């Protein structure tokens, strides 16, 4: 049987890893796929630049569209990134009747709906396991392994940079800015770290997972994102004293009112397995009605870890290449005509509990004022931790854990607390999840 010919767009970190892993494990991969897989063409930005893989037997070009238009290539592997040129190339590949494998989470989160519709029309597949959590096969797990379940919620540490920063802040008592600088020096964070530390990267991935979990269209524009740049060393310390750890989580939850889709710093009990995922590692916790909680852990980035997911997608496509398009695994787990219009809830309607840190003057009656305001908004206090001021009459931090409340009530309470003359700074608020 003739080999399946692959064209790779981009031989950077993931592209080179894909060539290396495929070459090293070719016998096993061929045995699993049932047909030979051959990378015949690759597009690179600079033909004079050395790659981290052998390109023997691969025809190199700096014209990516020429690879996409090559009639001999059956599968295009897009590893360029971004939503500009990559969108044009993937769209053209689909129009040419080629299957597509991509590690591009932004492309899928922002343009997946139209790309999947076009792929369905052309009878081809877009595979994107590598777009979420690197080498962790979370897409396949939810789309196929948990197909019997009604998924109730999922929560994930899905950005290694943010997790590395929070881990260092906790373990070595370092400040955010200090650890961020180290993350940039180590190559974990870009020169502009906004996508990582402000939750945009995680929101791309969460959008994809939520669509697969709940059978809804991709809706990145409705995802709530909040970064970790305001997390202070004292918050990390107080969380530990109260038996919690702070993680930058992506959370998707199905409720009677709609779907929660949010990325933000979250305090979780320190005994939860996911609370102990440290450094640059990723983990996703999925709650199904039949199976209960399942945890998926591993490398969320890196050359060969991500290449593992890319090649797994290639194998799936090769296995299905002779299958009737109507009988292939749907892109978003549900058949296109079965996707629901369940609304995405605004963050103001989310119900959760909270950690609050209030910096107040050391005066009688201050705590009574704060608890009165919380009570008026129907907010019950679970625990209070009050520190001694460094000097008599100075500023004292008051830390409170609340029971569950709708966020708009907490917003109103915080506005009133910050208006008190005795409160000297913005109230620090961190949402809490038990993940039980």
| Residues involved in catalysis | 205
| Residue labelled with tokens 């959590």 | 133
Is the separation of the CB atoms in 75 and 6 below 8 Å? Answer: yes
> How many C-beta atoms lie closer than 10 Å to residue 125's C-beta?
26
> 91: which residues sit within 8 A by CB, 6+ positions away?
115, 118
The number of CA neighbours under 13 Å toward the Cβ of 149 is 22
Report the alpha-carbon distance of residue 19 to residue 308 in Å, rounded.
Answer: 11
Is the separation of the CB atoms in 27 and 310 below 8 Å? Answer: no
For residue 289, the 8-state DSSP code is T
The number of CA neighbours under 13 Å toward the Cβ of 307 is 22
Choose among 354, 401, 398: nearest CA to 382. 401
Choose among 221, 240, 231: nearest CA to 265. 231
For residue 423, the 8-state DSSP code is B
Element holding 269 (H helix, E strand): strand 259-269
| φ and ψ at residue 336, rounded to 5 degrees | -50, -35
Give me the residues paired with residue 431 across strands: 266, 354
Query: Which DSSP string do the residues of 72-87 spell out, in sequence order?
Result: T--EEEE-S-SSSHHH
> How big is the CA angle at 343 (ends 340 and 345), to the nearest 5 degrees?
150
Report the alpha-carbon distance of residue 391 to residue 189 in Å, rounded.
Answer: 40
Query: Which DSSP string do the residues of 311-380 spell out, in sequence order?
Result: HHHHHHHHHHTTS-GGGSPPTTSS-GGG---PPBPPGGG-EEEEEEEEEEES-TTHHHHHHHHHHHTT--
For residue 273, the 8-state DSSP code is G
For residue 70, the 8-state DSSP code is -
């Amino acid at each position: 049987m003739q080999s399946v010919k692959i064209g790779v767009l981009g031989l950077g970190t993931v592209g080179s890893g894909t060539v290396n892993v495929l070459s090293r494990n070719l016998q096993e991969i061929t045995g699993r796929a049932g047909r030979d897989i051959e990378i015949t063409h690759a597009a690179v930005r600079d033909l004079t630049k050395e790659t981290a893989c052998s390109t023997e037997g691969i025809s190199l070009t700096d014209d990516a569209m020429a690879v996409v238009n090559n009639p001999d290539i059956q599968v295009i592997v897009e590893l360029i990134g971004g939503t500009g040129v990559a969108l044009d190339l993937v769209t053209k590949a689909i129009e040419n009747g080629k299957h597509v494998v991509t590690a591009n989470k932004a492309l899928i989160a922002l343009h997946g709906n139209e790309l999947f519709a076009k792929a369905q029309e052309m009878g081809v597949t877009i595979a994107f396991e590598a777009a979420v959590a690197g080498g962790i096969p979370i897409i396949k797990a939810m789309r196929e392994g948990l197909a019997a379940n009604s998924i109730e919620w999922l929560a994930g540490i899905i950005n290694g940079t943010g997790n590395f920063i929070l881990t260092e802040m906790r373990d070595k008592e370092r400040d955010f800015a200090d650890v961020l600088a180290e993350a940039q020096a180590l190559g974990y964070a870009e020169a502009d770290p906004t996508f990582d530390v402000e939750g945009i990267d995680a929101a791309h991935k969460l959008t994809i997972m939520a669509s697969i979990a709940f059978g809804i269209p991709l809706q990145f524009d409705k995802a709530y994102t909040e970064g970790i740049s305001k997390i202070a060393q004292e918050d990390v310390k107080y969380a530990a004293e109260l038996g919690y750890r702070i993680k930058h989580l992506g959370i998707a939850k199905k409720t009677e009112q709609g779907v929660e889709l949010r990325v933000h710093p979250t305090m979780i009990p320190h005994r939860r397995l996911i609370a102990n995922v440290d450094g640059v590692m990723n983990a996703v916790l999925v709650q199904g009605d039949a199976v209960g909680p399942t945890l998926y852990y591993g490398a969320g980035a890196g050359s060969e870890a991500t290449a593992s997911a890319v090649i797994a997608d290639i194998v799936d496509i090769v296995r299905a290449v002779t299958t009737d398009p109507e009988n292939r695994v749907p892109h978003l787990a549900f058949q296109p005509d079965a996707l629901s219009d369940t609304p995405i809830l605004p963050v103001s309607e989310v119900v959760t509990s909270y950690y609050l840190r209030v910096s107040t003057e050391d005066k009688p009656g201050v705590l009574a004022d704060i608890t009165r305001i919380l009570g008026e908004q129907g907010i019950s206090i679970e625990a209070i931790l009050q520190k001694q001021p460094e000097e008599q009459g100075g500023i004292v931090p008051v830390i409170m854990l609340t029971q569950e409340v709708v966020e708009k009530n907490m917003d109103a309470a915080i506005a009133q607390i910050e208006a008190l003359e005795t409160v000297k700074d913005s109230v620090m608020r961190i949402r809490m999840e038990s993940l039980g």
